Amino acid sequence: MTDYAEASLATKEKLAADLKTVIADAEELLQLTSSQTGEKVAELRARMSDNLRAARHKLEDVEAAIRDKAREAARATDDYVHENPWKSVGVAAGVGLLVGLLIGRR
């Protein structure tokens, strides 16, 4: 996966997490104001409910896009490993050696 793709995926994951937080906060606010009466409050609650529904749909779309990108990256990695098994073994051995050296220094 390219650096751009990784950055894009990280941005989408952050957006999804932020959106989940906003939705949870808005739902809590709706519950806390359920006892409030008045035409303006009822209007605001209806608008917030609509906006929350839309936000949940967008969140589902973002999560689906993240899953698709992760599957795509896994497929690309799998293809690379099948096409270049010895390079993959060498890279894995190198990473294992580095991790072993770092752990051994402690």
- Which of 32, 26, 74 minimizes the C-alpha distance to 54? 26
Place of tokens 């806390």: 32
Contact, 88 vs 81, CB < 8 A?
yes
Task: Tell me which residues of the chain have a pLDDT lower than 70.
Answer: 1-5, 7
* Distance from C-alpha of 88 to C-alpha of 30, rounded to nearest angstrom: 53
Contact, 1 vs 76, CB < 8 A?
yes
- 61-73 tens-digit pLDDT: 888 888 898 899 8
pTM assigned to the model:
0.53
Q: What is the model's pLDDT at position 5?
A: 64
Contact, 33 vs 45, CB < 8 A?
yes
